[in-house]
Amino acid sequence: MKEVHELNLPEDVRYTKDHEWVKASGDTVKIGISDYAQDQLGDIVFVELPAVGDSFEEGDEFGTLESVKAVSELYAPIAGEVVAVNEDLEDAPELLNKEPYNGWIVEIKPTDVKEIDQLLDRDAYLGVLKGE
DSSP percent split of the chain into helix, strand, coil, nearest 5: 25, 35, 40
pLDDT band (50, 70, 90) for residue 127 = very high
Nearest to 58 by CA among 113, 9, 101, 10: 113
Distance CA 22, CA 15 (A): 6
pLDDT digits 0-9 by tens, 35-61 = 999 999 999 999 999 999 999 999 999
Average pLDDT (111-120) is 95
Number of domains, the chain: 1
Say which CATH number the domain at 115 has: 2.40.50.100
**Mean pLDDT across the chain:** 96
pTM of the shown model = 0.95
pLDDT of 95 > 90? The answer is: yes
pLDDT of 132 > 90? The answer is: no
Average pLDDT (73-77) is 97
Q: Which residue did the predictor score with more confidence, 132 or 25?
A: 25
pLDDT digits 0-9 by tens, 9-37 = 999 999 999 999 999 989 999 999 999 99
What pLDDT does residue 1 have?
A: 86
Domain coverage including residue 99? 4-129
- Cβ atoms of 17 and 49 within 8 Å: the answer is no
- Cβ atoms of 22 and 116 within 8 Å: the answer is yes
